[in-house]
Structure 1
Amino acid sequence: MSQTEPEEGSLLLEESAEKLLAPPSVSEFPIFNQEAAYDDFTTIDWFRDLNQERNRQRILARKKRQNYFGWIRKILGDAWQGWLVTFLVGITVGGVSGFVDFLVQWLNDLKFGVCCTAFWLNKGYCCANCDSWKSWTELISVNSNFLAFIFYAFWMLLFSVLSGVLVVFFAPFSAGSGISEVKTILSGFVIRRFLNFNTLIVKIIGTCLSVSAGLSLGKEGPFVHIASCLGNVFSIIFEKYRCNEAKKRELLSAAAASGVSVAFGAPIGGVLFSLEEVSYYFPHKTMWRSFFCALTAASVLKYLDPARTGCLVNLSVDYTTPWHVCEIPAFFLIGLLGGVYGSLFVKANVWWNRYRATCFIRRYPIREILVIASLTAVCKYPIHLLRMNTTDSLKLLLSKCTSSSTLLDCNEEYFKAACVLIISVAFTLILTALTFGIQVPAGIFIPSMSAGAMMGRLVGIFFQWLRRNSATLTRIFPCKNNSYCINPGLYALCGAAAGLGGVTRMSVSLAVILFELTGGLTYIIPIMITIVTSKWIGDACGTSGIYDEHIRLKGYPFLDSKCEYSSTTTAREILHPQHNEPPLCVLLEKGNTVGSLKRLLKESPYKGFPLIDNLESRGSLGFVNRIDLTTAIEKISESTEVSEATSVCFTLKDWKTYNLCINLAHINTIPIQVSEEMPLDMIVDLFRKLGVRYLLVVTHGELIGLITKKDLLKHLASVYRQDPELILYY
Structure 2
Amino acid sequence: MMWPFDRCRINENDLFKHDWRSRSKVQVPQYIFLKWTLAFLVGLLTGLIATFINLVIENIAGYKFLAVFHFIENERYLIGLAYFTGANLILTAFAAVLCVCFAPTAAGPGIPEIKAYLNGIDIPNMFGATTLIVKIFGSIGAVAAGLDLGKEGPLVHIGSCIAALVGQGGPDNYRIKWRCLCYFNNDRDRRDIITCGASSGVCAAFRAPVGGVLFSLEEVATWWRSALLWRTFFSTAVVVVVLRAFIEICNSGKCGLFGTGGLIMFDVSDVIVTYHATDIIPVIIIGILGGFLRSLYNYFLHKVLRLYSLINQKGRMHKLLLSLTVSLFTSVCQYCLPFLAKCQPFDPSTTEACPANGWSGNFKQFNCAKGYYNDLATLLLTSNDDAVRNIFSSNTPKEFQPVSLLIFFALYCILGLFTFSIAVPSGLFLPIILIGSAYGRLLGVFMGSYTNIDHGLYAVLGAASLMAGSMRMTVSLCIIFLELTNNLLLLPITMLVLLITKTVGDSFNPSVYEIILHLKGLPFLDANPEPWMRNLTVGELAESRITSVTLCGVEKVSLIVDVLKNHSQWVPYCR
Q: Are 1:157 and 1:213, in contact at CA under 8 Å, matched by a contact in 2?
A: yes
TM alignment of 1:503-652, pairs within 5 A? 503-540=470-507, 542-561=508-527, 564-567=530-533, 569-574=535-540, 576=542, 581-589=544-552, 599-600=562-563, 603-605=566-568, 622=574
User: CA separation in 2, counterparts of 1:257 and 1:522?
Assistant: 26
What TM-score do you get using the length of structure 1 for normalisation?
Answer: 0.66
Partner secondary structure for residue 448 of structure 1: helix
Deviations 1:453-510 (A, max 9, x none): 111111111122xx2xxxxx5xxx7xxxxxxx54111111111101111111111100
TM alignment of 1:411-426, pairs within 5 A:
417-426=401-410
- In structure 2, the CA distance between the partners of 1:73 and 1:111, relative to structure 1 (3 Å rule), is same
Distance 1:135 1:451, change over 3 A: closer
SS in 2 for 1:268: helix
CA distance in 1, matches of 2:553, 2:97: 56
CA contact (8 A) 1:302 1:311 kept: no
State the match for 1:378 in structure 2. Answer: 332
- Picking from 111, 127, 147, the partner of 2:79 is 147
The answer for the alignment partner of 1:59 in structure 2 is 19
Matched residue, 1:451: 435
Q: Determine the structure 2 residue equivalent to 1:85.
A: 38
What is the letter of the counterpart of residue 495 of structure 2?
Answer: M
Q: Deviations over 1:24-54 (max 9, x none)?
A: xxxxxxxxxxxxxxxxx3112224x2426x8
- Map Cα deviations across residues 615-634 of structure 1 (whole Å, 9 max, x no partner): xxxxxxx4xxxxxxxxxxxx
Are the structure 2 counterparts of residues 288 and 356 from structure 1 closer, same or farther at C-alpha, using a change threshold of 3 Å? same
Find the aligned partners of 1:549 and 1:585 in 2 and give their Cα distance. 36
Q: Deviations for 1:689-727, whole angstroms, at most 9, x for unmatched residues?
A: xxxxxxxxxxxxxxxxxxxxxxxxxxxxxxxxxxxxxxx
Please tell me whether the aligned partners of residues 394 and 454 of structure 2 are also in contact (alpha carbons under 8 angstroms): yes
Rounded Cα–Cα distance in structure 2 between residues aligned with 1:599 and 1:350:
41
Match of 2:71, as an amino acid?
Answer: T
CA contact (8 A) 2:222 2:527 kept: yes
User: Per the alignment, in what secondary structure is the counterpart of residue 113 of structure 1?
Assistant: helix
C-alpha deviations, 1:317-373, integer Å up to 9, x for none?
A: 323451111011111111122212211221111101112223588430110011111
Q: CA 1:607 to 1:247, structure 2 compared with 1: closer, same or farther past 3 Å?
A: farther
Counterpart position of 1:17: none
Q: Partner letter of residue 62 of structure 1?
A: S
Q: In structure 2, what is the Cα distance between the partners aligned to 1:587 and 1:360?
A: 43
1:369 paired with 2:331, answer: no
- Paired residue secondary structure (1:111): helix
Cα distance change of structure 1 residues 307 and 328 upon mapping to structure 2, 3 Å threshold = farther
Map of 1:97 onto structure 2: 50
For residue 200 of structure 1, the aligned residue among 111, 132, 141 is 132
Whether 1:188 and 2:154 are equivalent positions in the alignment is no
1:250 touches 1:281 (CA, 8 Å); kept in 2? no
Secondary structure of the 2:108 match is: coil
Instruction: Name the structure with the higher helix share.
Output: 2
Confirm whether residue 290 of structure 1 aligns to residue 232 of structure 2: yes
Structure 1 pair 582/137, CA: closer, same or farther in 2 (3 Å)? same
Identity rate, percent: 30
Change (3 A) 1:360 1:87: closer
Distance 1:113 1:208 in 2: 18
Aligned-partner Cα distance in 2 for 1:590–1:375: 62
Q: What's the counterpart of residue 6 of structure 2?
A: 44
Contact 2:8/2:119 (8 A) holds in 1: no
CA contact (8 A) 1:232 1:248 kept: yes
| 1:259-310 deviation per Cα after TM superposition (whole angstroms, max 9, x unaligned) | 0001000000000000000001111011111000111112111112275359
CA distance in 1, matches of 2:561, 2:151: 49
Task: Tell me the equivalent position of 2:381.
Answer: 387
State whether residues 241 and 248 of structure 1, in contact with CA within 8 Å, keep that contact through their aligned partners in structure 2.
no
Q: Determine if contact 1:101/1:307 at 8 Å carries over to the other structure.
A: no
Where do 1:158-307 residues align within 5 Å? 158-237=90-169, 239-240=181-182, 242-305=184-247
1:236-263 CA distances to partner (integer Å, 9 max, x unpaired)? Answer: 1253564212221011111111100010
Q: Which digits, 9 at most, give the CA deviation of each residue in 1:114-136, with x for residues without a partner?
A: 6xxxxxxxxxxxxxxxxxxx955
Query: How much does 1:520 deviate?
Result: 2.7
2:149–2:426 contact (8 Å) kept in structure 1:
yes
Query: Which amino acid in structure 2 is aligned with residue 331 of structure 1?
Result: V
**Distance apart, 1:232 and its partner CA:** 0.5
Q: Which residue is 1:410 aligned to? A: 398
Q: TM-score, normalised by structure 2?
A: 0.83
CA contact (8 A) 1:182 1:225 kept: yes
2:288 to 317, 324, 336: 336
Residues 588 and 287 (structure 1), Cα distance of their counterparts in 2 relative to 1, 3 Å cut? closer
- Could you tell me which amino acid in structure 1 is paired with residue 187 of structure 2? E
- If you compute each CA radius of gyration, which structure gives the higher value, 1 or 2? 1
* 1:317 paired residue among 254, 269, 273: 269
User: In structure 2, the residue corresponding to 1:80 is in which secondary structure?
Assistant: helix
Equivalenced residue count is 513
**Cα distance per residue 1:548-570 (max 9 Å; x no partner):** 11001111111233774335633
Q: 231-240 vs 446-455, which deviates more?
A: 231-240
Q: 2:19 is aligned with what amino acid?
A: I
Work out the CA distance in 2 between the residues paired with 1:420 and 1:186.
43
Question: For the Cα contact (< 8 Å) 2:65–2:382, is it kept in 1?
Answer: no
What's the secondary structure of 2:425's corresponding residue?
coil
C-alpha change, 1:192 and 1:81, in structure 2 (3 Å) is farther
State the 1:594 CA deviation.
Answer: 8.0
Q: 1:321 to 1:534 in 2, by over 3 A?
A: closer
Q: How does 1:335-354 map to 2 (within 5 A)?
A: 335-354=287-306
Aligned to 1:482: none
Query: 1:55 and 1:143, CA in 2 relative to 1: closer, same or farther beyond 3 A?
Result: farther
Could you say which structure has the higher strand fraction? 1
| AA in 1 matched with 2:22 | R
Given the alignment, which residue of 111, 122, 137 partners 2:71?
137
Q: Which amino acid aligns with 2:536?
A: T
Runs (5+) with no aligned partner, structure 2: 170-179, 252-259, 339-376
* Residue 432 in structure 1 maps to residue 394 in structure 2: no
Give, in whole Å, the separation in 2 of the partners of 1:536 and 1:55.
Answer: 48
Change (3 A) 1:224 1:600: same
Looking at structure 1, the residues matched to 566 and 287 of structure 2 have their Cα atoms a distance apart, in angstroms, of 57
Structure 1: gaps (5+ residues) = 8-40, 65-70, 115-133, 468-472, 478-484, 611-621, 623-672, 674-730
